[in-house]
Amino acid sequence: TWDIVPQAPPDSIFKLTAAYQADPYPQKVNLGVGAYRDDDNKPWVLPVVRKASHILLSDPTLHHEYLPITGLPEFVSGAARLILGDDSPALADDRVASVQTISGTGANHLAALFLSKYYQFDGERVVYLSDPTWVNHFAIFENVGIKQRTYPYYDSKTIGLDFDGFLAALQSAPGRSVFLVHACAHNPTGVDPTEEQWETIAQAFIAKKHYAIFDSAYQGFASGDLDRDAKAIRYFVRRGVPMLVCQSFAKNAGLYGERVGALHLIAPNKETATRVRSQLSVLQRSEISNPPSYGARVIALILGNPELFEEWKADIRTMADRIIDMRKRLHSLLTNELRTPGNWDHIVNQIGMFSFTGISTAQSKALIDDAHVYLTSNGRISMAGLNSKNLRYFAEALDRVVRT
């Protein structure tokens, strides 16, 4: 019966991780993984998450009943305030339809499904994605019958933002097109627009009545400051750009496997938000019935308790600061000590978990084959995979492939 099913290729990131794990070389380095590692290259349970888990599990009234279809109410409202801001005009007007989702991936999926059903595409059913973007975006929209087109984003010549290309794409796309943008710490490039550039981008959205999907998977990770990393989103809300936000707590709370996230659709008024919420609930029911409770309870506890919230912010700064420190030290090794050919300023200018090194596919492959340094073929490295023990080894390996 299943003769027509073709063999699918393995997911490239998971394949890379498997190759790393199978490699017996003692100094091997894994820069493919999109998860935070501490200075000992270990997964890090945030101390505040440990504390909140302990509080939860010692509560004798805790049970395992279903959550409401749209999620744990105190999680959903806290998550909305966290991303949109306590002073959000949309929250004040009660015109945000928020639903708990299966982390950021689930938020993207539910958003895509909702748009596929209810967005009035003027022409083609298409979403514009940045070139490059998180590869899963393509599959997520493909699955709900929305075509994908890319807009210029990354300029390989400057290893920075192709701002003019991005803007031109916004201006030349048909009115009311749907554009997905990364809220901060763009994956995979680590290249974000400046505040001023965001203002110009918002203006282009308004002029063409485009719809914005904000994917926020790294709030706090970019700058170490939750509010600063939500600035673009909050600016778009204030300017009245029609939009929704996909929010993940995987990275900023280290809750990867617990699948904690939310979708927030900012509607023009309360009555619309109520109708939208009712349909998101209908879609959610047929997809997952009820979202998972454990991670949502942990986050709700942290968001609802000022003391725990302060501790969380300190934990986020611990992660962000370690990554920023790795950027500075790598930059200094390449530039001042090894005098590696080329300009490496992008290492410190890029933001968040990832850095696009600018090296070629062949050089990336040479790093794997000759130095046991594992990274994706586009030259992207996870800064979280670097630490005080492997930094010099990596810098010297990079220096070698650049010189040959």
Judged by CB under 6 A, the residue of 30, 98, 100, 103 near ligand PMP is 103
Residues 14-73 that bind ligand PMP (CB under 6 A): 34
Residues 245-274 that bind ligand PMP (CB under 6 A): 248, 250, 256, 261
Q: Report d(CA 28, CA 356) in Å as an integer.
A: 20
Q: Tell me: does residue 215 bind ligand PMP (CB under 6 A).
A: yes
Judged by CB under 6 A, the residue of 72, 217, 373, 381 near ligand PMP is 217
- Exposed e or buried b per residue across 283-314, where buried means at least 16 C-beta atoms within 10 angstroms of its C-beta: bbeeebebbbbbbbbbbbbbbebeebbebbbe
Judged by CB under 6 A, the residue of 28, 37, 109, 182 near ligand PMP is 182
Residues 130-149 that bind ligand PMP (CB under 6 A): 134
Bridge partner residues of 182 (DSSP): 215
- From 172, 165, 179, select the one nearest 210 (Cα to Cα): 179
How crowded is residue 399: how many other Cβ atoms within 10 Å of its Cβ? 17
Selected range binding ligand PMP among 103-111, 230-238, 278-286, 297-305, rule: CB under 6 A: 103-111
251 in active site: yes
Decide: 181 and 215 in contact? Cβ < 8 Å.
Answer: yes
Helical H runs in 85-178?
Answer: 89-92, 103-118, 136-143, 163-172
Q: Tell me: does residue 104 bind ligand PMP (CB under 6 A).
A: yes
134 in active site: yes
Write down the least CB distance from residue 289 to ligand PMP, Å: 19
- Report the residue number, 49 or 250, with the smaller CB distance to ligand PMP: 250
Judged by CB under 6 A, the residue of 30, 77, 88, 105 near ligand PMP is 105
Decide: 293 and 67 in contact? Cβ < 8 Å.
Answer: yes
Selected range binding ligand PMP among 74-82, 100-108, 324-332, 373-381, rule: CB under 6 A: 100-108
Residues 266-325 that bind ligand PMP (CB under 6 A): none
**Rounded to the nearest 5°, which phi and psi values hold at 117?**
-90, -40
Decide: 199 and 207 in contact? Cβ < 8 Å.
Answer: no
Size of the site for ligand PMP (CB under 6 A): 13
Decide: 230 and 80 in contact? Cβ < 8 Å.
Answer: no
| Residue 100 C-beta-side C-alpha neighbours within 13 Å | 27
- Report the residue number, 204 or 263, with the smaller CB distance to ligand PMP: 263
Catalytic residue among 51, 162, 192, 251: 251
Angle at 378 between CA 152 and CA 251, to 5 degrees: 85
Q: Tell me: does residue 214 bind ligand PMP (CB under 6 A).
A: no
Write down the least CB distance from residue 53 to ligand PMP, Å: 19
Catalytic residue set: 134, 215, 251
Q: Please report, as ranges, the residues that interact with ligand PMP according to CB under 6 A.
A: 34, 103-105, 134, 182, 187, 215, 217, 248, 250, 256, 261
